[in-house]
Amino acid sequence: MQIKENISLQPFNSFGIDVYAKYFASFNSIDQLQELIASTQHKKNKHLILGGGSNILFTKNMEALVIKNEIEGVEVIEEQDDFILVQAGAGMNWHQFVVYCIHHGYAGVENLALIPGSIGASPMQNIGAYGVEIKDIFHSLEAIDMHDGNKKIFTNAECEFGYRESVFKNKYKDQFAITSVTYRLSKKPVFNTTYGAIQQEIDEMGIKDLSIKAIAQAVMNIRNSKLPDPLKIGNAGSFFKNPEIETGEFEKIKLAFPSLVGYPTKKDNIKIPAGWLIEQAGWKGFKEGDVGCYDKQALVLVNYGKATGMQILDLSERIIKSVQSTFGIMLQREVNVY
């Protein structure tokens, strides 16, 4: 394990922002992580733990020790008639984990195919897509406290999951390095095809016998058709969260904008697609220099080449103001800004 100095973070963030880290190191075991915690560079500097770098916007050079989690490996730790506990290293690529589960017939993650990022990042923001969130199948995780190097296990309840939220984005921000995550997957799948265009895509694919593999393929087709590939166009998926508003407020806005769509939430509020609000406010397909609002999904801000993090942040501010003045709704960012 080597601590390098003055390293470009461009290859380590899906926006492709070219900022520098004062110190940079990667680890592939808990021992190596503990060595890093004991290092002078850690003691004298702030730290940032990077997973896949797919939900982060760098706006400046990082005067910190940036640590990349590369703990790999996946293993079954318990098997019963109807479920299985699978533990994966936090550095494992999320989609590779989905592929592994589908190959072995473990159900629960098929709707989450092709989400960029790592296993360790999945509980950070309770990743979700097409009617499923990881909190539905999350069992527990192991993490190392960056203050003292001690191991701590977090149960589902202790992670305090919410919509794209967890304790790791809030009160424990930057305190723990997640080293592995255990998921409880089902050996008897319950197919979830009600969300959005999944069923329609499955019909178009000509699938007669539904399977977790078919659902994952349908999800991949839909994602590929409207989300930009970060390897080609820098982005971090949804830049904003879908806002929740009260039913009364929803009705009022709908009077002025009859095409407004919304989905009731468990708290009797209405969740509105931020992509719709941004499109209606006129930003979809906007491009200025290398910064833009993606033309197939307005919720995604993109770097067409050499955009800086500040330029992307600035565009997000303009969008927030414009949506606020058009609809009276304040968008919140989903992406972590540094």
Stretch of residues binding ligand EPU (CB under 6 A), selected from 68-76, 100-108, 177-185, 295-303: 295-303
Stretch of residues binding ligand EPU (CB under 6 A), selected from 6-14, 16-24, 249-257, 269-277: 269-277
Q: Is 334 a catalytic residue?
A: yes
Query: Which of the residues 26, 54, 118, 164 is marked catalytic?
Result: 164
Q: Is 334 in the site for ligand EPU (CB under 6 A)?
A: yes
Stretch of residues binding ligand EPU (CB under 6 A), selected from 69-77, 147-155, 237-245, 308-316: 237-245
Q: Is 164 a catalytic residue?
A: yes
Stretch of residues binding ligand EPU (CB under 6 A), selected from 25-33, 56-64, 152-160, 292-300: 292-300
Q: Which residues contact 243 (CB under 8 A, 6 or more apart)?
A: 271, 272, 274, 277, 329, 330, 331, 332
- Amino acid in position 134: I
Q: Is 237 in the site for ligand EPU (CB under 6 A)?
A: yes
Nearer residue to ligand EPU within complex by CB, 30 or 197: 197
Q: What is the dihedral of CA 270, 271, 274, 279, to 10 degrees?
A: -50
Q: What are phi and psi of 157, to 5 degrees?
A: -60, -40
d(CA 288, CA 305): 12
Q: Is 284 in the site for ligand EPU (CB under 6 A)?
A: yes
Stretch of residues binding ligand EPU (CB under 6 A), selected from 145-153, 207-215, 293-301, 323-331: 293-301
Q: Count H helices, E strands: the chain?
A: 9, 20
Q: Which two tokens stand for residue 209?
A: 């016998």
Tell me the site size for ligand EPU, rule CB under 6 A: 17
Nearer residue to ligand EPU within complex by CB, 52 or 237: 237
Q: Are 90 and 51 in contact (CB under 8 A)?
A: yes
Q: Which two tokens stand for residue 155?
A: 């149960």
Q: Is 136 in the site for ligand EPU (CB under 6 A)?
A: no
Q: Is 223 a catalytic residue?
A: no
72, 165, 244, 279: residue in contact with ligand EPU (rule CB under 6 A)? 279
Q: Is the C-alpha dihedral spanning 300, 62, 17, 318 positive or negative? A: positive
Binding mask 187-226 for ligand EPU (x = CB under 6 A): ---------x------------------------------
Q: Is 112 in the site for ligand EPU (CB under 6 A)?
A: no
Task: Specify the long-range contacts of residues 35-40, CB closer than 8 Å, at least 24 apart.
Answer: 35/1, 36/1, 36/3, 36/65, 36/67, 37/144, 37/146, 37/148, 37/149, 38/149, 39/3, 39/65
d(CA 106, CA 299): 31
Q: Is 241 in the site for ligand EPU (CB under 6 A)?
A: yes
Q: Which two tokens stand for residue 53?
A: 């770098």
Strand order in the sheet with 291-293: 234-235, 301-303, 291-293, 287-288
Q: Is 181 in the site for ligand EPU (CB under 6 A)?
A: no
129, 177, 181, 331: residue in contact with ligand EPU (rule CB under 6 A)? 129
Q: How far is the CB of 122 from ligand EPU (least distance, A)?
A: 11
Q: How far is the CB of 273 from ligand EPU (least distance, A)?
A: 3
Q: Which residue has the tokens 């009022």?
A: 252
List contacts with ligand EPU (CB under 6 A). 129-130, 196, 237-238, 241-242, 261, 273, 275-276, 279, 284, 297-299, 334
Residues designated as active site: 164, 238, 334
